[in-house]
Amino acid sequence: MDNREIILDVENLNTSFISDRKEVKIVKNVSFQLKRGSALAVVGESGCGKSVTMNSIMRFLGSNARVKADKIQYNALRDGKVTEYRLESIKKPHGPEMRALRGPEMSMVFQDPMSSLNPVYKVGDQVAEGLLQHNKGMTKKQAREKVLEMFRKLGIPDPEERIDCYPHQFSGGMKQRVVIAIAMICNPELIICDEPTTALDVTIQAQIMELLKEMQVKDGKSIILITHNMGLVAEMADEVCVMYMGRVVEFGSLEDVFDRTSHPYTQALLRSVPVLGLADGQKLETIPGATPNPADLKGGCEFADRCPFCTDACRARDIPMFELSPGHRVRCLKYQEFPEVL
């Protein structure tokens, strides 16, 4: 596929952490492509490696992290020309090369606005910081006008007054809008949203998701949504990446994953989603067992101990990906008759 159509191309991403002189693998051979202007949902239980994967791409991890990949390529499209950036080759994650990309090209919305905002600085100054950093000739007055414009776009009421407020003077939903403003102020093409509505009530959650969808559809932004909420996936996603214990276990279009669900873990996730109309006394299905400790994994399928279809072969070796149809891939030995990929 042409680089004009693909904004992010990840091949065999591996991330591990050094803990007590032992290296623990958290993300294992993750590969995917994000189409320009589309929304990709990355789903799975807490601890499955979703956030670590995206923080590895953004290079936000600490000094004890080890990130390796065959390719992490961001394709910037300017005036019809593509400029390729190989993020895995950048030696200093917090150096000028990566800082030049964060903000103008790619940005991240974090799940907890309380920890994303500095309590001692006015929200307007925090939003303007990235703008002034990447536009050296811009005055503070010009930056303030840009921030006010962004606040109006995001539906923050009385922006002329609220721009000089502190985070504690905002509600949870308004704080999250400020965090989105920080991510959007430099007009990036790729926005990674790490469970952006977890701490919000249902009404505010719907407003935030509508706002993100509008950015994708009207402004042509590419979005990666990290979530465990399958309802949000159904509303937002064009493609879905299901992760379990650091591996991609199923990948496909929204229709592939929801209507032709193939991996036992994906099937279990969908069965555990609350639905209206449950009969009195009918219990919501749960996934049996618990996620294992990554340091204790010995190989084979990580889902084996919780899977009703597990055989000895599942524990004997690492399971490859099989392509069920163009773009729909699954990591399960039930599909050995299909071609292996990746």
What single string gives the DSSP state of each residue in 195-219?
STTTTS-HHHHHHHHHHHHHHHHHH
Q: Is the pLDDT of residue 21 over 70?
A: yes
Please answer whether residues 87 and 73 qualify as being in contact, where contact means their C-beta atoms are separated by less than 8 angstroms: yes
Residue 83 has a CB neighbour count (10 Å cut-off) of 11
Residue type, 293: N
Question: By C-alpha distance, which of 55, 66, 67 is closest to 106?
Answer: 55
Structure tokens at 80: 């019809």
Looking at residue 279, what is its pLDDT? 64
Structure tokens at 163: 């721009």
Burial of 57 (0-12, 13-18, 19+ CB in 10 A): buried
pLDDT band at 276; cut points 50, 70, 90: low
Residue type, 105: E
Question: Dihedral angle at the C-alpha atoms of 307, 51, 260, 306, nearest 10 degrees?
Answer: 10
How high does pLDDT run on average in the chain?
90
Looking at residue 309, what is its pLDDT? 92
Condensed to tens digits (0 to 9), the pLDDT of residues 120-143 reads 999 999 999 999 999 988 999 999
Condensed to tens digits (0 to 9), the pLDDT of residues 223-233 reads 999 998 888 89
Condensed to tens digits (0 to 9), the pLDDT of residues 154-199 reads 889 999 999 999 999 998 888 988 998 999 999 999 999 998 877 6
Residue 275 has a CB neighbour count (10 Å cut-off) of 8
Q: What CATH topology corresponds to 6-105+188-275+282-341?
A: Rossmann fold (3.40.50)
DSSP letter at 70 equals S
DSSP letter at 339 equals P
What is the rounded CA–CA span in Å between residue 268 and residue 309? 12
Looking at residue 199, what is its pLDDT? 66
Ranges 66-70, 197-201, 220-224: which has the least confidence: 197-201
Domain boundaries, the chain: 6-105+188-275+282-341, 112-187
| 256 or 22: which leads in pLDDT | 256
Residue type, 76: A
Q: Is the pTM of this model over 0.95?
A: no
What is the rounded CA–CA span in Å between residue 38 and residue 236? 10
Please answer whether residues 87 and 72 qualify as being in contact, where contact means their C-beta atoms are separated by less than 8 angstroms: yes
